[in-house]
Amino acid sequence: MKSREIAVQLMKARKQNKSAFPSNDIETLIEMSLKVVAENIGLYPGIDGVEDDTVLQSIIKLIDPTLPITTTARNVDFEFYWEKKCKDLKNCKKSDHGGSFKQAYIERRI
């Protein structure tokens, strides 16, 4: 397929609010960007400048769960992340730690 044909296909799909490609095998630029940020969260753990909660949640879902607690404790405030971490520990209940999975995980790790 020539580049002109691809461009025409993209424009038609955009006008119809559809995907131009028959498969979702190709990552979007947004998906690639989220992965790059998640993979480099150790370098810039504060994710300064990202203010959209859905974007932040998408990044947090992709970060490596084995990152050091010194990196994640200061910068990850989403309870879904800490709930997942608590599942790795025996008998880790948020009700025993101020109603917070983050607090429960940190206190159990100490």
What residue numbers bound the domain in which 84 lies? 77-110
As a 3-state breakdown, the chain gives helix, strand, coil percent values, each rounded to 5, of 55, 0, 45
pTM over 0.75: no
| Of 50 and 35, more confident | 35
Same domain, 82 and 62: no
Same domain, 32 and 60: yes
- Our count of domains for the chain comes to 2
Same domain, 49 and 82: no
Whether 59 is covered by a domain: the verdict is yes
Cα 38 to Cα 71: distance, rounded to the nearest angstrom = 13
Task: Determine contact, residues 76/82, Cβ cutoff 8 Å.
Answer: yes
Whether 89 is covered by a domain: the verdict is yes
Question: How confident is the model at residue 21, as a pLDDT?
Answer: 64
Q: List pLDDT tens digits, range 38-66.
A: 999 888 877 888 888 899 999 999 998 88
